[in-house]
A and B are shown apart, each in its own frame.
Chain A
Amino acid sequence: MAFLELTGVQKMFGDVAAVLDFNLATEKGEFVSFLGPSGCGKTTTLRMIAGFEKPTAGMITVDGKDITFKSPNQRNVGMVFQSYALFPNMTVAGNIGFGLKVRKRPKAEIDRRVGELLELIHLGGRGDRYPWQLSGGQQQRVALARALAIEPQVLLLDEPLSALDAKIRLVLRKEIRAIQRQLGITTVYVTHDQEEALSLSDRVVVMSEGRIEQIGTPSEIYNFPSTAFVASFVGTLNLVNAGVIDAGAGRLSIEGQEVRTARVPGDASTDGRVTLALRPEGISLGEGATGSNRLRGAVEDINFLGSIVRIRIRIGEGTNGEPPATVALDTFNDPHLKLPDVDEVITISFPPDASFVLGAARDQATAGVEAGAEV
């Protein structure tokens, strides 16, 4: 039974489509993230749920009631803004209680509820502070409490943590999720940070250029991306051009070396070449188990990233003037492990099901690059 439902929602700004054919059905109490790069339409969609933008087509319902064209102050959805948007002329208590004051609740009730919420966000006793006296993290918590005070049916968060620094972000992330679980509120969380989306959500909606690319659980999105965009946006990914030897058996050739992939390409290529995707963590140094795919190549460079060491390997010498394929593998840092030297030719291996075909071969210059890295 869907609680928050968007059907065919579309938003045009003049000729530009900011959001196209957005369909989503969420359960009550579910935590859903909208994930995507800037300009993908995630914030616009959120604002349509809140009522600050009107869809040019489509319908939005909450608990069965159509709210598509209701004005924002009649929707009973709580919104947390990226810049907190706390009212500077009111104390923390005043801010939190504002929604209730506007609904003309008795003062005693407002005070009680404000007190509860202050405890919930661990700011008990600081109700008489003003926003400018608080840190960024504290202000965001107050913004959260303010949105929750009116007991909204849906909670909306618009990149609430992007203005905060890394440590606070981690702490606040957990708190937000904990509070959400405790209250069982249906929540939509907009972010461009995939780590946030993956760690917090029940489901993730990956968006690009106004469209939904994929909806799924974090694990599904990460392990079974359904489009090239999702695969490259979420996590890091090796993309390698490969020639098709036997489509049915999943046999491909990378620079003359044969590999097998468990996933049979459907409509993959027109020229006998496809893009093969490989997660760095799925590749290991050495021969690997029986039945693994093996590739030989020269080490290009080694990046020490702390708990992980990322090794980049050049396969072959390149075909038809294109640069050679490069593949990066991640291995856990082990002080006793002897790492290969640069230019050393080594063998790497990966199980067939750690790879999948993403579609037709792409421009090798981009294919060999670690996708997902911020350019």
Chain B
Amino acid sequence: MTADVQAGAPAIPAATPTAAVATAGRPRRAPWRILWWLIFLAGVAYFTLPLVGTLAFSLRAIPPLSAYTDILTDQQFFTSLGYSFVVGLLTIVISISLMVPTAFWVRLRMPRARPAVEYITLLPFVVPPIVLVFALISTYSHPPLPFTHTDIGSTALLVCGYVVLSFPYMYRAVDVGLRSMDIRALTEASQSLGANWFTILTQVILPNLRVALLSGAFLTLAIVIGEFTMANYLARPAFAPYLSLLGSNEPYQQSAVALVSFGLTWVAMGFITILGRGSRSKIAVTGAR
């Protein structure tokens, strides 16, 4: 037999000159790594500085924390935040009610309409908030549809505008969520059991989209609360216009509120990250600019 059988305990060969422990990887990259660290840290510094500046400014008030406690006694803070929050919720509800059936229908029945629908959901990029609000006001500020003449009408217009702004990421979030389900099989199974479309959507599809919808919802909420342009030109008592006007009387409080709003965004994004753990696609996030 000529089998070279390796048996028994490993025998470390003696006297191999090059037996030095080598790193798994490329040692010569070590000097370059410093450069990458520098790049990273410089970026971090740039990001932190304005936040620190805001914090420091807010603490200049006398006594130092009064800027923050003043917030608690500022009625307008709560009403404007509340207003934006409600508007945000309305936006989310309408957006989901529109997007889920649409994305579902396109996937299930009308794949050919897909490019057109996707194109429309991308239009808000081409019609940014300033242009959109301009267009909405121009169209709906006189009879027969004088939305802007009433508070309710203006708020409704704002909500609809925000729904349009939410198109790109809501659609994408829902679409990605749908992709992970075999909606054809689920629909056919439901139909064979006697369900109608409404039941299918609300009891089969929607529950399985929970994660995607929650992500989209938090994103929309963050964007609505931070949105200035449309709220401002529609003269709505929203959070961002409140923040903008605060400075003329209460600069310290303004900086405190700014920091608080940053914190709120962070919380919302934190939820999204937790929810989105494991999902591969990252949806670009922009809002008030």
Contacts of B7 in A (CB 8 A): 227
Q: Mark A207-232, 1 if CB is under 8 A from B, else 0.
A: 00001111110001100101100000
Instruction: Flag whether A87 is at the interface (Cβ < 8 A).
Output: no
Contact A57 to B4, CB < 8 A, known contacts A10-B10, A211-B10: no
Contacts of B4 in A (CB 8 A): 23, 212, 214-216
Q: From A207, which residue of chain B is reached at the shortest CB distance?
A: B6
Complex CA–CA separation, A216 to B12 (angstroms): 23
Are the C-beta atoms of B18 and A59 separated by less than 8 Å?
yes
Candidates B2, B3, B11, B22; contact of A55 at CB < 8 Å = B22
Contacts of B19 in A (CB 8 A): 57-58
Q: Which of A55, A57, A216 has the most CB of B within 10 A?
A: A57
Contact A220 to B1, CB < 8 A, known contacts A13-B24, A20-B10, A54-B22: yes
Contact A220 to B18, CB < 8 A, known contacts A10-B10, A21-B10, A58-B13: no
Contact A53 to B24, CB < 8 A, known contacts A7-B13, A8-B11, A224-B1: yes
Instruction: Flag whether A66 is at the interface (Cβ < 8 A).
Output: yes
Contact A224 to B3, CB < 8 A, known contacts A8-B13, A21-B10, A58-B16: yes
Complex CA–CA separation, A68 to B2 (angstroms): 28
Report the minimal beta-carbon distance from B23 to chain A, rounded to whole angstroms: 7
Q: Tell me the dominant secondary structure on chain A's binding face.
A: strand
Contacts of B22 in A (CB 8 A): 54-56, 69
In the complex, which range does the number of interface residues on chain B fall in? 20 to 34
Contact A226 to B18, CB < 8 A, known contacts A8-B12, A54-B24: no
Candidates A20, A56, A213, A227; contact of B21 at CB < 8 Å = A56
Instruction: Flag whether B116 is at the interface (Cβ < 8 A).
Output: no
Contact A226 to B1, CB < 8 A, known contacts A54-B23, A58-B19, A66-B18: yes
Complex CA–CA separation, A21 to B19 (angstroms): 13
Report the minimal beta-carbon distance from A40 to chain B, rounded to whole angstroms: 13
Are the C-beta atoms of A212 and B6 separated by less than 8 Å?
yes
Report the minimal beta-carbon distance from B159 to chain A, rounded to whole angstroms: 44
Are the C-beta atoms of A214 and B21 separated by less than 8 Å?
no
Q: From B27, which residue of chain A is reached at the shortest CB distance?
A: A54
Are the C-beta atoms of B6 and A211 separated by less than 8 Å?
yes
Complex CA–CA separation, A141 to B18 (angstroms): 37
Report the minimal beta-carbon distance from A296 to chain B, rounded to whole angstroms: 33
Instruction: Flag whether B62 is at the interface (Cβ < 8 A).
Output: no
Are the C-beta atoms of B18 and A213 separated by less than 8 Å?
no
Instruction: Flag whether B49 is at the interface (Cβ < 8 A).
Output: no
Q: Mark B1-37, 1 if CB is under 8 A from A, else 0.
A: 1111111001111001011011110101000000000
Complex CA–CA separation, A69 to B256 (angstroms): 58
Q: From B19, which residue of chain A is reached at the shortest CB distance?
A: A57
Complex CA–CA separation, A57 to B20 (angstroms): 7
Are the C-beta atoms of B23 and A21 separated by less than 8 Å?
no
Candidates A20, A53, A54, A216; contact of B2 at CB < 8 Å = A216
Report the minimal beta-carbon distance from B11 to chain A, rounded to whole angstroms: 6
Are the C-beta atoms of B2 and A220 separated by less than 8 Å?
yes
Are the C-beta atoms of B18 and A69 separated by less than 8 Å?
yes
Complex CA–CA separation, A69 to B23 (angstroms): 11
Are the C-beta atoms of A68 and B1 separated by less than 8 Å?
no
Contacts of A54 in B (CB 8 A): 22-24
Complex CA–CA separation, A69 to B22 (angstroms): 8
Are the C-beta atoms of B16 and A214 separated by less than 8 Å?
no
Are the C-beta atoms of B12 and A227 separated by less than 8 Å?
no
Contacts of A55 in B (CB 8 A): 22
Are the C-beta atoms of B16 and A7 separated by less than 8 Å?
yes
Candidates B5, B16, B24; contact of A8 at CB < 8 Å = B16
Report the minimal beta-carbon distance from A106 to chain B, rounded to whole angstroms: 30
Are the C-beta atoms of B11 and A21 separated by less than 8 Å?
yes
Contact A220 to B3, CB < 8 A, known contacts A57-B16, A68-B18: yes
Complex CA–CA separation, A216 to B5 (angstroms): 9
Complex CA–CA separation, A224 to B5 (angstroms): 11
Complex CA–CA separation, A224 to B19 (angstroms): 35
Complex CA–CA separation, A106 to B7 (angstroms): 51
Are the C-beta atoms of B1 and A57 separated by less than 8 Å?
no
Contacts of B3 in A (CB 8 A): 214-216, 220-221, 224, 226
Q: What 15 new A-B contacts, CB under 8 Å, besides A56-B22, A224-B1, A227-B5? A: A8-B11, A10-B10, A21-B13, A54-B22, A57-B12, A59-B16, A59-B18, A69-B18, A212-B4, A214-B5, A220-B2, A226-B1, A226-B3, A226-B5, A227-B7
Could you name 7 residue pairs across A and B whose Cβ atoms are closer than 8 Å? A54-B22, A54-B23, A212-B6, A215-B3, A220-B1, A224-B3, A227-B7
Listed from nearest, the 4 A-B pairs whose CB atoms lie closest are: A8-B13, A54-B22, A212-B6, A20-B10
